[in-house]
Amino acid sequence: MKEKRLSNVAGFDDAPFDRGHQGSVPIVGTVYADLRFDGVLVGEIEKDGSDSARKLGDLIAGSRFAEHVQFVMLQGIAFGGFNVVDVFALHRRLGVPVLAVSRKLPDMEAVKNALLAQVDHGRKKWQIIEQLGAMEPVENVYVQRLGLTLEQAAAAINRFSIHGNIPEPLRTAHLIATALECGQSRGNP
Protein backbone atom coordinates (compact mmCIF):
# COMPACT_ATOMS: atom_id res chain seq x y z
CA MET A 1 0.00 0.00 0.00
CA LYS A 2 1.35 3.43 -0.96
CA GLU A 3 2.00 5.80 1.95
CA LYS A 4 -0.22 8.91 1.95
CA ARG A 5 1.57 12.04 0.78
CA LEU A 6 1.13 14.92 3.22
CA SER A 7 0.53 17.88 0.93
CA ASN A 8 -1.92 20.21 2.70
CA VAL A 9 -0.39 21.92 5.71
CA ALA A 10 -1.10 24.72 8.16
CA GLY A 11 2.15 26.27 9.46
CA PHE A 12 2.23 28.56 12.52
CA ASP A 13 4.59 31.12 14.03
CA ASP A 14 4.12 33.86 16.60
CA ALA A 15 4.84 37.56 16.21
CA PRO A 16 7.83 39.10 17.97
CA PHE A 17 7.20 40.81 21.31
CA ASP A 18 9.20 42.74 23.91
CA ARG A 19 10.56 40.77 26.84
CA GLY A 20 8.46 42.71 29.34
CA HIS A 21 5.28 42.36 27.29
CA GLN A 22 2.24 41.08 29.15
CA GLY A 23 -1.00 39.83 27.63
CA SER A 24 -1.68 38.44 24.20
CA VAL A 25 0.73 37.71 21.36
CA PRO A 26 -0.39 37.49 17.72
CA ILE A 27 -0.04 34.13 16.02
CA VAL A 28 -0.18 33.54 12.28
CA GLY A 29 -0.92 30.40 10.34
CA THR A 30 -0.36 29.93 6.63
CA VAL A 31 -2.16 27.26 4.70
CA TYR A 32 -0.53 25.54 1.76
CA ALA A 33 -1.85 23.02 -0.76
CA ASP A 34 1.44 21.49 -1.77
CA LEU A 35 3.54 24.54 -2.72
CA ARG A 36 0.55 26.79 -3.44
CA PHE A 37 -0.03 29.39 -0.74
CA ASP A 38 -3.79 29.22 -0.11
CA GLY A 39 -4.55 31.36 2.92
CA VAL A 40 -3.79 32.95 6.26
CA LEU A 41 -5.15 32.33 9.77
CA VAL A 42 -4.61 34.99 12.45
CA GLY A 43 -5.27 34.76 16.17
CA GLU A 44 -3.81 35.49 19.59
CA ILE A 45 -2.42 33.47 22.46
CA GLU A 46 -1.43 34.51 25.97
CA LYS A 47 2.26 35.20 26.58
CA ASP A 48 3.58 32.32 28.73
CA GLY A 49 0.00 30.98 28.89
CA SER A 50 -1.48 27.54 28.29
CA ASP A 51 -3.96 28.25 25.52
CA SER A 52 -1.92 27.69 22.35
CA ALA A 53 -3.23 24.21 21.47
CA ARG A 54 -6.83 25.31 21.95
CA LYS A 55 -6.34 28.52 19.97
CA LEU A 56 -4.54 26.77 17.10
CA GLY A 57 -7.24 24.11 17.05
CA ASP A 58 -9.95 26.80 16.98
CA LEU A 59 -8.24 28.64 14.13
CA ILE A 60 -7.96 25.52 11.98
CA ALA A 61 -11.28 23.88 12.89
CA GLY A 62 -13.20 27.12 12.40
CA SER A 63 -11.66 27.88 9.03
CA ARG A 64 -12.65 27.06 5.46
CA PHE A 65 -9.41 25.01 5.31
CA ALA A 66 -10.35 22.59 8.10
CA GLU A 67 -11.32 19.62 5.94
CA HIS A 68 -8.20 19.95 3.79
CA VAL A 69 -5.43 20.31 6.40
CA GLN A 70 -3.50 17.03 6.55
CA PHE A 71 -0.91 18.11 9.09
CA VAL A 72 0.17 21.02 11.26
CA MET A 73 3.66 22.50 11.32
CA LEU A 74 4.84 24.62 14.25
CA GLN A 75 7.83 26.95 14.45
CA GLY A 76 9.04 25.33 17.67
CA ILE A 77 7.07 23.74 20.48
CA ALA A 78 6.24 27.02 22.26
CA PHE A 79 4.77 30.34 21.18
CA GLY A 80 4.57 33.63 23.05
CA GLY A 81 7.51 32.80 25.28
CA PHE A 82 6.60 29.65 27.19
CA ASN A 83 3.10 28.96 25.89
CA VAL A 84 3.95 25.33 25.15
CA VAL A 85 1.67 23.78 22.55
CA ASP A 86 0.01 20.67 23.94
CA VAL A 87 0.61 18.77 20.70
CA PHE A 88 -1.18 15.72 22.10
CA ALA A 89 -4.40 17.72 22.61
CA LEU A 90 -4.01 19.39 19.20
CA HIS A 91 -3.44 16.01 17.53
CA ARG A 92 -6.50 14.50 19.26
CA ARG A 93 -8.72 17.44 18.37
CA LEU A 94 -7.79 17.72 14.69
CA GLY A 95 -6.87 14.10 13.98
CA VAL A 96 -3.79 15.11 11.98
CA PRO A 97 -0.03 14.83 12.59
CA VAL A 98 1.86 17.69 14.25
CA LEU A 99 5.46 18.59 13.39
CA ALA A 100 7.46 21.11 15.44
CA VAL A 101 10.46 22.50 13.56
CA SER A 102 13.46 24.43 14.89
CA ARG A 103 16.38 25.92 13.02
CA LYS A 104 18.71 25.26 15.98
CA LEU A 105 18.80 22.65 18.71
CA PRO A 106 17.49 24.37 21.85
CA ASP A 107 19.29 24.08 25.18
CA MET A 108 16.68 21.78 26.68
CA GLU A 109 18.24 21.90 30.15
CA ALA A 110 17.86 25.70 30.17
CA VAL A 111 14.27 25.36 28.90
CA LYS A 112 13.49 22.87 31.66
CA ASN A 113 15.06 25.06 34.35
CA ALA A 114 13.17 28.16 33.17
CA LEU A 115 9.85 26.31 32.97
CA LEU A 116 10.19 24.76 36.41
CA ALA A 117 11.46 27.88 38.14
CA GLN A 118 9.72 30.80 36.45
CA VAL A 119 6.56 29.78 34.57
CA ASP A 120 3.03 29.08 35.77
CA HIS A 121 2.17 25.43 35.14
CA GLY A 122 5.81 24.91 34.16
CA ARG A 123 5.91 21.30 35.32
CA LYS A 124 2.96 20.36 33.07
CA LYS A 125 4.53 22.21 30.13
CA TRP A 126 7.83 20.42 30.65
CA GLN A 127 5.99 17.08 30.76
CA ILE A 128 4.50 17.78 27.33
CA ILE A 129 7.95 18.52 25.89
CA GLU A 130 9.46 15.48 27.59
CA GLN A 131 6.65 13.16 26.48
CA LEU A 132 7.03 14.32 22.88
CA GLY A 133 10.65 13.20 22.96
CA ALA A 134 14.01 14.57 22.00
CA MET A 135 14.40 16.77 18.95
CA GLU A 136 15.69 14.84 15.95
CA PRO A 137 17.92 16.21 13.19
CA VAL A 138 16.17 16.19 9.81
CA GLU A 139 17.23 17.95 6.60
CA ASN A 140 19.33 20.67 8.34
CA VAL A 141 16.69 21.43 11.01
CA TYR A 142 15.49 19.76 14.20
CA VAL A 143 12.02 18.32 14.68
CA GLN A 144 9.66 16.89 17.25
CA ARG A 145 6.77 14.95 15.78
CA LEU A 146 3.50 13.30 16.60
CA GLY A 147 1.51 11.11 14.23
CA LEU A 148 4.12 10.80 11.51
CA THR A 149 7.30 8.82 10.98
CA LEU A 150 10.76 10.33 10.79
CA GLU A 151 10.74 9.51 7.07
CA GLN A 152 7.44 11.37 6.59
CA ALA A 153 8.81 14.32 8.56
CA ALA A 154 11.94 14.40 6.38
CA ALA A 155 9.83 14.20 3.20
CA ALA A 156 7.64 17.09 4.39
CA ILE A 157 10.64 19.23 5.35
CA ASN A 158 12.30 18.48 2.03
CA ARG A 159 9.16 19.09 -0.03
CA PHE A 160 8.25 22.43 1.61
CA SER A 161 11.77 23.89 1.99
CA ILE A 162 12.25 25.94 -1.17
CA HIS A 163 14.13 29.05 0.01
CA GLY A 164 16.54 27.72 2.65
CA ASN A 165 16.11 25.19 5.44
CA ILE A 166 12.79 26.34 6.89
CA PRO A 167 9.62 25.01 5.23
CA GLU A 168 7.60 27.61 3.31
CA PRO A 169 4.51 27.46 5.54
CA LEU A 170 6.67 28.43 8.54
CA ARG A 171 8.79 30.94 6.64
CA THR A 172 5.69 32.66 5.28
CA ALA A 173 3.93 32.64 8.67
CA HIS A 174 7.04 34.24 10.19
CA LEU A 175 7.16 36.97 7.53
CA ILE A 176 3.47 37.81 7.98
CA ALA A 177 3.65 37.72 11.80
CA THR A 178 6.63 40.09 11.93
CA ALA A 179 4.99 42.43 9.42
CA LEU A 180 1.81 42.56 11.50
CA GLU A 181 3.78 43.49 14.61
CA CYS A 182 6.62 45.59 13.16
CA GLY A 183 5.11 47.08 10.01
CA GLN A 184 7.42 45.05 7.79
CA SER A 185 8.77 41.54 7.66
CA ARG A 186 12.22 40.80 9.00
CA GLY A 187 14.43 38.13 10.49
CA ASN A 188 14.65 34.37 10.16
CA PRO A 189 12.14 31.97 11.67
Question: Judging by DSSP bridges, how do beta strands 24-33 and 8-14 pair with one another?
Answer: antiparallel
Q: What is the pLDDT along the chain (189 residues), one digit of tens a residue?
A: 345 567 799 999 999 988 888 889 999 999 999 999 999 999 999 999 999 999 999 999 999 999 999 999 999 999 999 999 999 999 999 999 999 999 999 999 999 999 999 888 999 999 999 999 999 999 899 999 999 999 999 999 999 999 899 999 999 999 999 999 888 887 766
Domain 8-182 in CATH 3.20.20.370:
no
The string over 79-115, giving b where at least 16 C-beta atoms fall within 10 Å of a residue's C-beta and e elsewhere, is bbbbbbbbbebbbebbebbbbbbbeeeeeeeebbeeb
Ranges of beta strands (E only) in 34-156 are 36-46, 71-75, 78-79, 83-84, 98-102, 136-138, 141-146
Residue 52 is which amino acid?
S
Angle at 100 between CA 58 and CA 185, to 5 degrees: 80
Domain ranges of the chain: 8-182
- The three-class DSSP label of residue 89 is helix
Question: Whole-model pTM?
Answer: 0.93
